Structure 1
């Protein structure tokens, strides 16, 4: 009788251990959601330290922990784990994929490309691998190869949300905003908690002139990632462009500067919102924490009364033609905003028109200039 009871107890304990092990395997498996990173790393730690974990499972756990460290932007720990995973199992495609992502985040395109190619050699029908190599090509500016890989990823797995997201971002860079919007909508249909996709769709709505929709999507991105200063900044710009949401704009720019005190553009837009709201300025205080030796310092000096519009425009003088074009775009827009605040409508119209016509399509200053021109006509 006692022997039977002992067997029953052992069976329960074995089942409990097995359930715990399976739970750790599930939690350790890298899924990319940053809010689950700490729990994932803890589960991977237990598996890696467990003497009962097989070599193959340890390699998988190391690969997953590498992915979690990468998601937390700890690339050194990530690289160490991926290297160890590959040392144990040279045929584990996920380890090469995770290590490729680490190299990509370090802008080491050569090693990233090698790892993504090896992952595809090991697993030629891996949608994730095609998406990551497509991301690499996009980072290198090779849009045709990027689009080919992303299309292949979606063909292999139409439900893989990151591939739709990456392709949507690629279409945006190519200026095809309609297709970009379609892919962002599909991304969010597949994954309603994809913060980056809400942010990207908000930017698209802003570029298309739909500022109310933009504020909604930026709000959803903020709810998912409340410490993202850029989401607050962009929502503030959309509120500002609407025209009658100045208090909301000011609040968002204030939050953006709190989260990132060294962001000169957040400080500039906060100044615009405060002046429009007849609120006390915080620009002089913010300038103490900013690098006033580099652009857009001349624009900040304009609003501080230390430079004229003409001097600010003249300061856009980089020897790099592309950099000069972007600086001129910004000088025209902020100069136009400054002229508006000074009630110089004619000067404002001239400068804002130049910004609207000549700013790069993805620059918020160009889109904002278009919005500002409408009531001036």
Structure 2
């Protein structure tokens, strides 16, 4: 299973509003889009007041529309967001923030060409805007264009060394590139700059897990959960860390159960919950969980193996794919889970063979890679 994260693209926007009243200043502060979804409704309400105020200047109205666009985007209402960004740009063609917000909206609509054009225009308008370079850097990173991504993120940090999001994005880029030491440095810097950045703790926890430092991983996953108690992925990854540590199987099962409750369609949460349940001799919930899963796609064949519907040969046969990368990824996972299955069947020799294949061939970014290494230790 690939480690993934969902990057929130946000930053402080331009300072604006000259309506001469204390209430207007308060509305301006609340209207500013800062990316915190729990503040979206009050942000939108504040922007509404500014947009409708007859005393608001055209420039300030454009800025309020841009911010409201950002809030609608955060709420995943991309149609309203696009309408507000378009209106903001019509009102003020030089509102760089509106292009950046609209670029994110276009990305949400899978329109990469228009997104890149908007990020480019924002940089043309404000060549010293760290946020603009960070957004374009994230765009290139997600396209797999490492060189352009690194150049933009470096420039963002040069322009604003205290910009936590840029450090986070560069760290994630290094992680994807396999440079774990630099990735860790950037995650440490991110957390120093923003101690409440849940995703940074989560990512640093995963880096610690990949580096074999499970106590540090557990600590950071715990901090991520404390900051965002509804993040199923953080519970899942902490569960994996508990599972790998050994002797924490009950804690692992509890975390996998919580992850499955938060995301019942996550096949991996269901699968790892079953592994943990078997370790503590608890009742299996895999058959029940399978009712909510798409059993036509990977890793459904692995789940069928644990349900007794497939044998090992059928599972490996289902791992085949005409795309070499997909085939390699699914074979890596098949080796690990078949190895765990062999352990459950008390077949130590076969478990050792399969887990070694997983340890040797799974990419480091796969949780199965480190888990396979850990599982091999007591078998030697």
Q: Aligning the two structures, in what range does the TM-score lie when normalised by the shorter sequence?
A: over 0.9
* Residue of structure 1 equivalent to 2:189: 186
* Residue of structure 2 equivalent to 1:59: 62
Which one is further off, 265-274 or 213-222?
Answer: 213-222
Which of 146, 169, 173 is 1:170 aligned to? 173
Which of 303, 312, 316 is 2:306 aligned to? 303
1: CA distance, partners of 2:29 / 2:344: 57
Residues 1:337 and 2:375 are matched in the alignment = no
Runs of 4+ residues over 4 Å off in structure 1: none
Which one is further off, 53-62 or 151-160?
Answer: 53-62
2: CA distance, partners of 1:252 / 1:39: 33
Residue 328 of structure 1 aligns to a residue whose secondary structure is: helix
Which of 147, 158, 161 is 2:161 aligned to? 158
Which one is further off, 272-281 or 31-40?
Answer: 31-40
Which of 84, 102, 107 is 2:110 aligned to? 107
Deviation at 1:375, TM superposition (A): 1.5
2: CA distance, partners of 1:202 / 1:107: 30
1: CA distance, partners of 2:135 / 2:337: 38
Deviation at 1:76, TM superposition (A): 2.0
1: CA distance, partners of 2:42 / 2:64: 13
Residues 1:292 and 2:301 are matched in the alignment = no
- The aligned length equals 362
Deviation at 1:34, TM superposition (A): 2.4
Q: Which has the higher contact order (CA 8 A, sep 6+)?
A: 2
* Residue of structure 1 equivalent to 2:359: 356
Which of 332, 335, 350 is 1:347 aligned to? 350
Which one is further off, 204-213 or 278-287?
Answer: 204-213
Residue 303 of structure 1 aligns to a residue whose secondary structure is: helix
* Residue of structure 1 equivalent to 2:6: none
* Residue of structure 2 equivalent to 1:136: 139
Which of 4, 25, 28 is 1:25 aligned to? 28
Q: Which of these two proteins has the greater Rg computed from alpha carbons?
A: 1
TM-score by length of 1: 0.94
Residues 1:265 and 2:268 are matched in the alignment = yes
1: CA distance, partners of 2:228 / 2:48: 26
Deviation sequence 1:277-322 (CA, Å, 0-9, x none): 1000000011111111111111001000111112211211111111
1: CA distance, partners of 2:313 / 2:173: 37
Task: Output aligned runs, 1:163-242, within 5 Å.
Answer: 163-242=166-245
Which of 112, 119, 122 is 1:119 aligned to? 122
Deviation at 1:17, TM superposition (A): 7.6
1: CA distance, partners of 2:134 / 2:309: 49
Task: Output aligned runs, 1:267-282, within 5 Å.
Answer: 267-282=270-285
1: CA distance, partners of 2:333 / 2:124: 46
* Residue of structure 1 equivalent to 2:100: 97
Deviation at 1:54, TM superposition (A): 1.7
* Residue of structure 2 equivalent to 1:322: 325
Deviation at 1:197, TM superposition (A): 0.7
1: CA distance, partners of 2:281 / 2:295: 25
In structure 2, the gaps of 5 or more residues are 1-18
* Residue of structure 2 equivalent to 1:71: 74
Deviation sequence 1:28-59 (CA, Å, 0-9, x none): 11112223222212211221122222221111
Deviation at 1:366, TM superposition (A): 0.9
2: CA distance, partners of 1:306 / 1:93: 57
In structure 1, the gaps of 5 or more residues are 1-15
Deviation at 1:107, TM superposition (A): 2.9
Deviation at 1:369, TM superposition (A): 0.7
* Residue of structure 1 equivalent to 2:379: 376
Query: For the aligned residues, what is the CA RMSD?
Result: 1.3
2: CA distance, partners of 1:30 / 1:226: 23
